[in-house]
């Protein structure tokens, strides 16, 4: 799946080293769930890649920007009475922050999941202090549905709220971002 700034593709065995290199950063893992190891070892990367490569219908994708591995994104469909709904998450290596790549990746996967992916609802939980991640979701048409008080224990032991965002298949498509043309001439 191609976005304007990045490409979402299935993980491949050659992603082990760049995955570990990007994920083994305390600032990257700071607001990830405890299931995201920190420190992130080569064994962790091999385990994740083996799992992702084995999926018949990939739900987790590598984010590639400028031809290099930049992070990961995925949807995890729910079942039973929640069928048609999926949790949604993403992360980027620090070298790729602040360039619109996360927004482009999230917009691309949301469009896919709510379109040909056949989902009616995507849900994303954010640690409340992670303002940048919340902003990415808002730019991608997700709406804040609730604040879950004291929902998370951060890696440093601090307690914080969780923010529940969601986007529905029939929500209007957000407007594409305006091109960044730099500072106006003086």
pTM for this model (two decimals): 0.90
Q: What is the domain partition of the chain in residue ranges?
A: 7-168
* Residue whose structure tokens are 């997700």: 142
Coil vs helix vs strand at 77: strand
CATH class of this structure's domain 7-168? alpha beta
What is the secondary structure of 140-157 as a DSSP string? TT-EEEEEEEEEEE-TTS
How large is the angle between the packed helices 101-114 and 131-139, nearest 10 degrees? 50
pLDDT tens per residue, range 19-71: 999 999 999 999 999 899 999 999 999 999 999 988 777 799 999 999 999 99
pLDDT tens per residue, range 84-104: 999 999 999 999 999 999 999
């Amino acid at each position: 799946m191609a976005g304007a700034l990045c490409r979402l593709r299935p993980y491949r065995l050659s992603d082990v080293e760049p995955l570990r290199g990007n994920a083994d950063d305390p600032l990257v893992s700071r607001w990830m769930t405890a299931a995201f190891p920190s420190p992130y070892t080569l064994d962790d990367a091999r385990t994740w890649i083996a799992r992702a490569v084995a999926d018949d219908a990939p739900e987790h994708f590598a984010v590639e920007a400028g031809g290099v591995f930049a992070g990961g994104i995925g949807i995890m469909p729910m079942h039973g009475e929640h069928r048609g709904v999926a949790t949604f998450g993403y992360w980027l290596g620090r070298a790729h922050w602040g360039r619109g790549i996360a927004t482009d990746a999230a917009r691309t996967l949301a469009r896919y999941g709510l379109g040909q992916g056949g989902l009616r609802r995507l849900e994303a939980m954010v640690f409340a202090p992670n303002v940048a991640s919340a902003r990415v979701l808002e730019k991608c048409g997700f709406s804040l549905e609730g604040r879950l008080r004291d929902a998370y224990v951060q890696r440093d032991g601090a307690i914080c709220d969780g923010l529940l965002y969601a986007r529905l298949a029939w929500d209007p498509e957000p407007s594409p971002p305006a091109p960044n043309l730099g500072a106006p001439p003086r």
